């Protein structure tokens, strides 16, 4: 049976060190927007945001057009990325993801996207998710190598030493970290069977509210785990604009007013938003929002 959207994506467990021993493959983790690219047997190419299952076809019309060259019945997993001055620009790709169709077409000419594919879920109608990674990798390369940019396969190595070199050498190019996968493993849809090592001590959290106005949020109220709410440090200008853009896309996003324990008033988000944060360990615990991750919601 042909693989159809929506697709449940594989997940990765955060770790502090790369796994060692035989049977592992390592890939650089590009700092982009997780996207499933599908070229159906019939109809036009479609793009799905990784974990939210939201359609982002109109957000990346340039990638949708490029995906028309894929063999019918092909489904790929990867990251939509935008390169600026030699490095991956995460803010730029999130602007694309949160744009209206009209603005997205304009941005596509100003900020063209590339697709860093790291898995082949189906090729020419054949569901590959139960096949081992090493076989899926061969099929991925066979599909993409004749096409070239903007659809490209991420590098992969079975050498842990080379992967550690990538972790350091590619840091300045916008590589978020390294993902390790079992070469014999099937595609782990909905499970954290892959291992992810990041450059920093960033962690995933949930933004549940904000201070300031919807058009100019000042700080985020973040659930860092177990229902513990922390008020973030002030959002920088770029993050504030992105949050305002996300609120506009979501429509009536604010759902009333609540108060933190210290009496700080904030507006509640009707739907929580995944974010990446750094939690300080000083005497007065604080949290800094590094980026919004609407693609994870």
Q: What residues are labeled active site?
A: 29
Find the DSSP H helices in the chain: 61-67, 90-97, 101-110, 133-144, 160-169, 237-250
For residues 195 and 25, the answer to whether their CB atoms sit within 8 Å is no
Which residues, in sequence order, are bridge partners of residue 3? none
For residues 75 and 38, the answer to whether their CB atoms sit within 8 Å is yes
Q: What is the spatial distance between Cα 282 and Cα 66, in angstroms, rounded to a whole number?
A: 48
For residues 212 and 193, the answer to whether their CB atoms sit within 8 Å is no
Which residues, in sequence order, are bridge partners of residue 117? 78, 153
For residues 115 and 152, the answer to whether their CB atoms sit within 8 Å is yes
- Phi/psi of residue 5, each to 5°? -80, 150
Query: In the structure encoding, which two tokens stand for residue 89, read together?
Result: 């620009």
Q: What is the spatial distance between Cα 82 and Cα 245, in angstroms, rounded to a whole number?
A: 19
> Which residues, 6 or more positions from 240, have their beta carbon under 8 angstroms from its beta carbon?
212, 216, 217, 218
Query: In the structure encoding, which two tokens stand for residue 25, read together?
Result: 């493959």
Q: What is the spatial distance between Cα 264 and Cα 198, in angstroms, rounded to a whole number?
A: 33
Quick one: which of 79, 148, 82, 68 has its CA closest to 110?
Answer: 82
- Which residue in the block uniquely carries the two structure tokens 């973040």? 222
Q: What is the spatial distance between Cα 45 and Cα 29, in angstroms, rounded to a whole number?
A: 25
């Amino acid at each position: 049976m042909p693989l159809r959207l929506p697709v449940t994506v594989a997940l990765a467990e955060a770790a502090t060190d790369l796994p060692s021993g035989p049977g592992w493959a390592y890939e650089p983790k590009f700092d982009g927007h997780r996207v499933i690219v599908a070229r159906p047997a019939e109809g036009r190419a479609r793009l799905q945001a990784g974990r939210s299952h939201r359609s982002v076809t109109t957000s990346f019309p340039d990638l949708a057009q490029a995906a028309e060259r894929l063999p019918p019945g092909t489904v790929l997993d990867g990251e939509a990325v935008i390169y600026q001055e030699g490095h991956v620009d995460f803010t730029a790709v999130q602007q694309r993801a949160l744009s209206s169709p009209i603005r997205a077409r304009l941005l596509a000419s100003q900020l063209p996207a590339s697709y860093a594919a790291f898995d082949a879920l189906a090729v020419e109608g054949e569901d590959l998710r139960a096949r081992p990674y090493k076989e899926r990798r061969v099929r991925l390369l066979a599909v993409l190598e004749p096409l070239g940019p903007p659809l490209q396969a991420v590098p992969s190595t079975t050498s842990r030493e080379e992967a550690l070199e990538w972790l350091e050498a590619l840091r300045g190019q916008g590589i978020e970290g390294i993902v390790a996968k079992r070469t014999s493993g099937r595609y782990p849809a909905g499970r954290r069977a892959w291992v992810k090592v990041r450059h920093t001590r960033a962690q995933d959290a949930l933004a549940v509210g904000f201070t300031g106005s919807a058009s100019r949020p000042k700080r985020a109220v973040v659930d860092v785990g177990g229902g513990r709410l922390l008020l973030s440090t002030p959002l920088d200008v770029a993050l504030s604009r992105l949050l305002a853009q996300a609120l506009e896309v979501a429509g009536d996003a604010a759902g009333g007013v609540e108060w933190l324990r210290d009496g700080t008033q904030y507006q509640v988000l009707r739907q929580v938003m995944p974010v990446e944060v750094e939690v300080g360990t000083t005497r007065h615990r604080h949290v800094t929002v590094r980026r919004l991750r609407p693609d994870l919601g």
